[in-house]
Amino acid sequence: MYTIEYRHNFPLAAADVAAVFDSSGIRRPTGDLARIERMFANANLTFSVWHNEKLVGVCRALTDFSYCCYLSDLAVDMAYQKHGIGRELIARVQDTIGDEVALILLSAPEAMEYYPRIGFEKVENGFIIKRAR
């Protein structure tokens, strides 16, 4: 295969993150780089995936490191999918937050089949007030 490097809380350029989002199939406001920059600047747990100094995957979470962790983004460039990178990103989040912390996420409709395969349990007791834009 190829050499992959994982980085924890490494500074990321918004344009690079937007490129990964676009190449992964995830829907994010990639035309608004200032918003992407704020999304990552205000997250307190991120992992990035690099191949030959090119960003190919990202994971962004918000956590109190005590009770809950919201996994907000998990995106891997389609050319690098199906090699266990997403699973490894989630494992690194879990290792960082520990076993006292619940890992929570909202799935895109296209990924509903993926998360149960890697250990997530579907829950029916969630609520949301959707963003206006």
Residue 91 has a CB neighbour count (10 Å cut-off) of: 14
Q: What is the pTM of this model?
A: 0.91
Q: For the chain, give every domain's residue range.
A: 5-117
Query: Exposed, middle or buried, 26 (CB in 10 Å: 0-12/13-18/19+)?
Result: middle
84-107: pLDDT as tens digits: 999 999 999 999 999 999 999 988
Which class does domain 5-117 fall in? Answer: alpha beta
**Range name among 5-9, 79-83, 85-89, 122-126 with the lowest pLDDT average:** 122-126
At residue 72 the predicted structure's pLDDT band, cuts being 50, 70 and 90, is: very high
Q: Which residues contact 61 (CB under 8 A, 6 or more apart)?
A: 43, 44, 45, 46, 69, 70, 71, 72, 93, 97
Q: Please check the confidence at residue 1 and state whether its pLDDT lies above 70.
A: no
Q: Output the pLDDT for position 126.
A: 83
Q: Output the pLDDT for position 45.
A: 98
